[in-house]
Structure 1
Amino acid sequence: MSYNFKTIRPVMPAKDMINVILSKTQRKTPTVVHPGYDISRIRGFYMRKVKFTQETIHEKIDAILQDFPKLDDIHPFYADLINVLYDKDHYKLALGHVHACRNVIDNIAKDYCRLLKYGDSLYRCKMLKRAALGRMCTTLKKLTSSLNYLDEVRKHLSRMPAINPFERTLLVTGFPNVGKSSFVNNITNANLDVQPYPFTTQNLYVGHTDYNFVRWQVIDTPGVLDHSLSERNPIEMQAITALAHLKACIMFFLDISETCSYSIDQQIALFKDLKPLFKNKPLLLVMTKIDIKKFEQLDPIDQQKLQDVIQSENVFYSQLSNKSGEGIAQVKEKACGLLNEWRQNLKPEQLTGGNPNLLREESILQGVYIAQPKRVNQNRMPVIPQVIGKLNRPTLKDVQEQNGGAGVFSFPLQEHFLLENPDWKYDAVPEIMDGKNIGDFVDADILQRLEELEKEEEMMDQAEIEDPEEDAREEMLLNTRDQINKKREMIKEEHHMKMKQQVKLHRPNLEDAKEDFAKKGIDTTFLEQRAQKFAAKKVLQKQKRQQQSSDDSDDNDMDIEGNDRNQRKGRDALSRSRSRLREISRSRSRGNKKVLTAQEQAMERMSKKIQRRRRNEAKAGDGDTKIDCKMPKHLFTGKSGIGKQSRR
């Protein structure tokens, strides 16, 4: 069973949570109420807001309480690790504070809903709602420190490695700077940071490797110093927690070269100090840095001390060098073998912690029998098919890189020539010009082809004898072509002269108007009468202008009496024109009024209806989208002080 702490959702600060909850209440509940409503409707309006706020807060806090792990329900390894890193008491107090605030907010909502049942006016109900939401927000503000602490715990938990306490595990421990991280990097893909100074590793790190087709996890622990448990810091306590709770093969690394700044005696003392944590677990003593000093090169006293520890504690030992790679595979194989032997003596329920998936897997693996074939000592060389050898042949690019690279090595193109005889591939071909030799220009039948070409030329010459009739016909065709071209040019010029840049406007005539009215079902007799009247009027006006022009020519020869007579005529004409103007300016209600048909009245009503919206909005047309006043003064005048408006 592995715990995925990355799924814990972020914890919002108290202020952000208040803003989110109040804005959600405003968005998700009705916002309009009037004093004229029935009092039961007003009470329900405000009770709904109080209950909705309480439910939203309850959901937010429940999510926090459910996401964070409960120390009594998780594996003891994780419970102690959380205690080491974050202080178990502080962690429980923070979650308890959040849980208590949830209960307080539930009671506040219950009390104010009871009071709202007896509200006798809109104002009183509103004040009760405001007081309820205010007390809830005040209670949430008291969670500021607890929520901040829980969010920091969440961030740290999400960065922790996913350690499965029931998986096959190799646990590496020892003094700082003895080569633990280098060993983990060599057998896994962990890619840990390795430095020549101590305490590079300050947390637990996990890598994974395979052995006998089974996945194993390798845990790198921080360095442990030799002092009492109370003096150890949280970094060392992480390693102590892993040693105490994980059912793993303990690999104690001992630097026999003493380049880690700790002597062999100090390392043996630490081994004996941690002995209670190694009880009932497979143990492997690993001597590191043998590339600097081997076990045989140690002082006899140090060799005897190590031999005494190995014999008295009945532990297995091995040697390796992370730098040269010597002994790494043997150490890994030995540690995995020790753990497999130890696990075979345990029941599957003890190894899996009750997890059904792990229990099924472990029971199957323990029931598998690995058969060993006879004559195992016989050496059998691997057989590689010839097809695979052809597939793995070097490419032209590989050959080029092996022989000096591009620009130094040129490919032998003759290898790919397809000739009748393969022996001709590498024959030297003499070059004369442009890569061709004389053989490319030699033709055995060249004389015969020359005779055929000469005969063909003679036949063409005979066919080209001049024919006078043909010349006349050709001259006639040329003249006809010239005439056609001249005609085309004249047509183009005439068309160009007729073209105008201005667009011709369509002026409707009487026939168009009659067709339009006929489509609408309107009688067109009055149009014909009116057109005749206008035509007669135009004729009279033309005759009058002609007569006036002739009178003007006669007036040049007249005397003063004639001038007086013309002046009187002008005054009479002016008086007549004024009388006509007065008649035109009279009210249209006087005299005969035209009676409209039913269809004309309907069309007039429709046109007025279409123009009504445009008149009401004072628009110049459908395309008029102008906004005269973009900032109305009554909305943007003055200042809004703090606390003047209650938007919630």
Structure 2
Amino acid sequence: MYMSFQKGFYIPKVEELIDNAFKKARDEASKVQERDFNRRIIEKEKTRVKIASEEITGTLKNIANKFPNISELNPLYKSLLANSLDIIQLKKALSHLMSSSRTCDELKTQFLAAMFRVQNKNGISKYRNEFYGRLVSVVKRCKASFEIIKNAMKNMAEIPKIKNLPTILLIGCPNTGKSTFLKAVTSANVEIQSYPFTTKRLQVGMLTEKFLEFQLLDSPGLLDRPEEKQNNIEKQTTLALKTIADSLIFIIGANENINNQINILKRFKKEIKYKPFFIVINKIDLVDMGELKEIESALKNYLPQKTTLFKLSLNKAKEQELKEIKDEIYNLNKSWYTKKGKENIKSVF
């Protein structure tokens, strides 16, 4: 299930929900038409109980029902949410809203039945005041659940819109130029800074090449350390690699420690075994020819012989250099559009 969490839904404050419900109840009660004064008061109070309860019950149910069903989400979305949220706590909050809505409905039934037996305006107003007090108490107990759900919506809004398209994951150490690559190849509007760890979440860029559409994902930089020691930012890259990446582009920083970068390649050997990929050595203007040859030699000692390798400085890339990279993206991923495309990908190791 591919979807976007960019457009959420409004979750009011508890006090706002109560005020709105009581206002609507008061407005609806003012429309009651009864010739007998005493009877008119009784019907107005019943209307206020009915409308206030229905407004609050409806809002609580609406929030709980509109929230995406986590069990039906795409594996990446589910993993990203679990990475940033306490899923059990969130489920309890949603369940609490549903049970609270039922409590409000039961209170309405209980008090309307009691009010049916009352024949004077003083007695009926007493019941309505008591009902309002009970209703407010139930809603105020939802305050913590509201905050949990609001926080979840905020986290979900940061998850990019990922389409069911061939997905190319950009992977590498911090400050190697992954965001620069995404911007150069797809014209995506991404933040680029000269310091590491600028990218803190997955970012999407779209590339149309020879009438086919491809989806590139910029990912947070990885450090040379085991997966179990990764922080939540790094884990986004690992999750994308394991769940939705159809192919990979490793961005190597020529001015960064090559051994650390090769260690990252080695660490994910199992995950990328059946995924096509190529290498981009970036920032070659920051090293001399001797250093560049050492980097190439170190990579070739590890990579399969036919691995495509590009050498350039992305911030100064020529149009022809970018065209060659786009052609390689097309060639590696065009089979996705055929029925047996994914089945035909052979191991590159």
Task: Give TM class, smaller chain.
Answer: 0.7 to 0.9
Query: C-alpha displacement at 1:188, in angstroms?
Result: 1.5
- Aligned CA distance change for structure 1 residues 281 and 342 (closer, same or farther; 3 Å): farther
Q: Does 1:307 align with 2:303?
A: no
What residue number does 1:483 align with? Answer: none
- Aligned CA distance change for structure 1 residues 295 and 237 (closer, same or farther; 3 Å): farther
What residue number does 2:221 align with? Answer: 223
Q: Does 1:338 align with 2:336?
A: no
After superposition, residues 533-544 of structure 1 pair within 5 angstroms as none
Q: Distance in 1 between matches of 2:107 and 2:307?
A: 65
Gaps of 5+ in 1: 349-648
Deviations 1:122-142 (A, max 9, x none): 322221121112111111111
Q: Does 1:324 align with 2:323?
A: no
Q: 1:183 aligns with which of 163, 181, 185?
A: 181
Q: Distance in 1 between matches of 2:31 and 2:211?
A: 65
- Aligned CA distance change for structure 1 residues 321 and 219 (closer, same or farther; 3 Å): same
Query: C-alpha displacement at 1:292, in angstroms?
Result: 3.5
Q: Distance in 2 between matches of 1:276 and 1:122?
A: 76
After superposition, residues 419-430 of structure 1 pair within 5 angstroms as none
Q: Distance in 2 between matches of 1:71 and 1:315?
A: 39
What residue number does 2:51 align with? Answer: 52
Query: C-alpha displacement at 1:155, in angstroms?
Result: 3.7
Q: Distance in 1 between matches of 2:72 and 2:28?
A: 37
Q: Distance in 2 between matches of 1:296 and 1:167?
A: 40
What residue number does 1:200 align with? Answer: 198
What's the TM-score, normalizing by structure 2?
A: 0.86
Q: Distance in 1 between matches of 2:336 and 2:38?
A: 79
After superposition, residues 337-416 of structure 1 pair within 5 angstroms as 337-341=331-335, 343-344=337-338, 346=340
Q: Does 1:171 align with 2:138?
A: no
Q: Distance in 1 between matches of 2:192 and 2:92?
A: 38
- Aligned CA distance change for structure 1 residues 304 and 101 (closer, same or farther; 3 Å): same
* Partner secondary structure for residue 330 of structure 1: helix
What residue number does 2:69 align with? Answer: 70
What residue number does 2:108 align with? Answer: 109
Q: How many residue pairs align between the two structures?
A: 340
- Aligned CA distance change for structure 1 residues 36 and 43 (closer, same or farther; 3 Å): closer
| Seq. identity, % | 25
RMSD: 2.8
What's the TM-score, normalizing by structure 1?
A: 0.48
Query: C-alpha displacement at 1:339, in angstroms?
Result: 1.3
* Partner secondary structure for residue 124 of structure 2: helix
Deviations 1:209-250 (A, max 9, x none): 210112222211111112233322221122222212214321
Q: 1:277 aligns with which of 271, 281, 291?
A: 271
Q: 1:211 aligns with which of 196, 209, 227?
A: 209
Contact 2:6 2:160 in 1 (8 A): no
More strand per residue: 1 or 2?
A: 2
Contact 2:6 2:161 in 1 (8 A): no
Instruction: Give the partner amino acid of 1:7.
Output: K
- Aligned CA distance change for structure 1 residues 187 and 195 (closer, same or farther; 3 Å): same
Q: Distance in 2 between matches of 1:185 and 1:8?
A: 27
Query: C-alpha displacement at 1:45, in angstroms?
Result: 4.0
Q: Distance in 2 between matches of 1:7 and 1:63?
A: 16
Q: Distance in 2 between matches of 1:67 and 1:231?
A: 35
Query: C-alpha displacement at 1:172, in angstroms?
Result: 0.6
Contact 1:251 1:284 in 2 (8 A): yes
- Aligned CA distance change for structure 1 residues 43 and 315 (closer, same or farther; 3 Å): farther
* Partner secondary structure for residue 152 of structure 2: helix
What residue number does 2:248 align with? Answer: 250
- Structure showing greater relative contact order (alpha-carbon pairs closer than 8 Å, 6 or more residues apart): 2
* Partner secondary structure for residue 83 of structure 2: helix
Deviations 1:175-206 (A, max 9, x none): 00111111111112213222221001112111
- Aligned CA distance change for structure 1 residues 7 and 178 (closer, same or farther; 3 Å): closer
* Partner secondary structure for residue 270 of structure 2: helix
Q: Distance in 1 between matches of 2:340 and 2:290?
A: 38
Contact 1:310 1:317 in 2 (8 A): no
Deviations 1:345-364 (A, max 9, x none): 6379xxxxxxxxxxxxxxxx
Q: Distance in 2 between matches of 1:189 and 1:154?
A: 28
